[in-house]
Amino acid sequence: MFESEIYVERRKKLKEKIGSGLLLFLGNEESPMNYPDNAYRFRQDSHFLYFFGLDSPGLAGLIDVDEDKDIIFGNDVSMEDIIWMGCQPLLKDRAAEVGVKVTFPFKKLGEVLNNALEKGRKVHYIPVYRQETAFKIENLLGIRSEKVNKYSSKALIKAAVDLRSKKIKQEIEQIEEALDITYEMHTTAMRMAVPGRYEQEIAGTIEGIALSYGADIAFPVILTVNGQILHNHYHGNKLQKGQLMVNDSGAESVMHYAGDITRTIPVGGRFSQKQREIYEIVLNAQLKAIEFTSPGRKNKDVHIKAVQTIASGLKELGIMKGDIKEAVKAGAHALFMPHGLGHMMGLDVHDMEGLGENHVGYDEKTKRSGQFGLAYLRFAKKLEPGFVLTIEPGIYFIPALIDKWFKEKKFMDYIDYKKVGQYRDFGGIRIEDDILVTDKGHRVLGKPIPKTVEEVEAITAKE
Ligand code: GLY
Ligand code: MN
C-alpha cells in the first residue's frame, strides 16, 4: 500500500473534479472457479485500489462530496472466519491506513444510499465488468442490472481517467517492480526455447516466476509458435527448430501495477535470413515509434510512424509496393499489422479499459478511425507527461486474412500477393516495451530485455 496521504489526495482531487453528490466504488468479491468456496486468486477492482487501497473482498467505498466525507463499508471477521482464515485486522484500522476515518458494516451501505436517493442526491458510479457488481448496484440503487452501465456517470468516468492516467513517481516504481519480474520471465523463456520442449513448460515456468515473487501475471500468458494468432493462449505445441516463438507476458507487482513485454525468439537460437529481415523491420518500427514519443504529440501519429516504417520495410522486401504513404493512408499495411501500436498501462494492463476505450484513448479532438487496423488503436489522443503506454508493433502473416484480401482483390497496387505467398507459413513477430512519457520526451521502463537480433540470439538456448 502507498502512504495514506496518496489516497487522501486522490480522493480530494476527485471531489474537486466532481463538485457534488456521492461517489460509489464497489470492491470485488471472491470469484468462484467451480463451486462457491473454491475461488480464483482474488483480484481487487483497480478503481477501488486506486482510491481506497484495501486489497480484500467485501468492501465498498463511498465519497460524500458535499460533506467532504470518505467512508469504507465492510465487515470485521466473525469467529467462524477466524477459524478458517485466521485473525484479521479491524476494518477501522485498515481504513486508517488509507486515510479513511469512518467505517460501517457492509449492510449499512444500502441505508446510507437510500437516504441519499430519498433526498434526491446524485449517486455516481463507474461501469462494471462483473455481473455480481451489477446486481449489487441493482439492489442498492434500483437500476436494473442490464442497464447499470448505461446509467454510469460520465463525469466520474472522466475524472477517474484524468487522475489515473498521470502516474506519480511511486506508481512508476511499482510498474518497474513488475518489470523486474517480467525481465526474469522473458530471459527465462529465451533460455528455455530449445527444440523438443513444449510451449506449456515455458508458459508454466514464467507464470510461476511471477507467483514466486508474491505477485501475479498481469494477463494470461501469450506464448506461442503461432504468433500470427495475436492473442494465442494455447500452449500445447512442441517447439521445433526454426520456428519463431512469440512471448507476450508480464507480471503485475504485489500492489497490482502491470508490466507488459513482448519478445519474439528463434527456437534453437538463430534467426533464419528471412526471419531476421522481418524482425529487423519490426524492431526498426518499434525504435522509431519510441523515439517519436513525446508530450504534445498524438499517439495516433506515433502509430502512423510505426506502420509507415513497417510498410517501407516490407516494400524493400518486395512484399508491398507502390507509394508507401498512400498505401498506409489507404490501410494496406493492416494486412500485416492489423492492430494498434499499444495501450495505456497502470493498475490494469489495458489501463481503465473497463470504462470504455474511447474514454481513455480518445477525446473531442481525436476521434476513432473506422479503417481496418487503425480502428483497433486503443489510444490515439495527445500524450502527456506521466502517461505510460506500450509500444508493440508487429508483422504477421495470417493465411485466412491473406486469402480473403486476395480473393477480394484488395490493395493490388500496394501488395504483391505472389511474394506474400512465400511467407504464408512464417507466423508472426511482435516486439513490445513499456514507455513513460516524460516532461521532455520519454523513458523506456524497466531493465533492458534482450531485443536486437544479436542480443536475442546470444541469450536464447542453442539446440
Ligand atoms: N499484452 C496483451 C495486450 O497488450 O493485449
Ligand atoms: Mn500490450
What is the set of domains in the chain, with CATH numbers?
Answer: 4-164 (3.40.350.10), 169-459 (3.90.230.10)
What is the percent of the chain where pLDDT is above 90? Answer: 98
Nearest bound ligand to the CA of residue 222: 1
For the chain, give the number of residues: 463
25 — phi, psi (to 5°)? -125, 110
Nearest bound ligand to the CA of residue 246: 1
Q: Of ligand 1's atoms, which has the minimum distance to the CA of residue 350?
A: 4
**Unique residue bearing C-alpha cell 519463431:** 244
Cβ atoms within 10 Å, residue 92: 14
Q: Is the CB of 433 under 6 A from ligand 1?
A: no
Q: Of ligand 1's atoms, which has the minimum distance to the CA of residue 262?
A: 1
- For ligand 1, atom 2: residue with the closest CA: 248
Can you give the pLDDT at residue 30? 96
Rounded Cα–Cα distance for residues 213 and 254 (Å): 8
Q: Is the CB of 177 under 6 A from ligand 1?
A: no
- What's the chain's average pLDDT? 97
CB–CB of 441/293 below 8 Å? yes
Measured in Å, residue 120 CA sits from the centre of ligand 1 at 42
pTM metric for this prediction? 0.96
pLDDT beneath 50, residues of the chain:
none
CB–CB of 10/163 below 8 Å? yes
Measured in Å, residue 24 CA sits from the centre of ligand 1 at 29
Can you give the pLDDT at residue 384? 98
Reference 263, options 223, 215, 305; nearest CA is: 223
Measured in Å, residue 345 CA sits from the centre of ligand 2 at 8
Can you give the pLDDT at residue 446? 98
Can you give the pLDDT at residue 69? 98
Can you give the pLDDT at residue 461? 86
Can you give the pLDDT at residue 462? 85
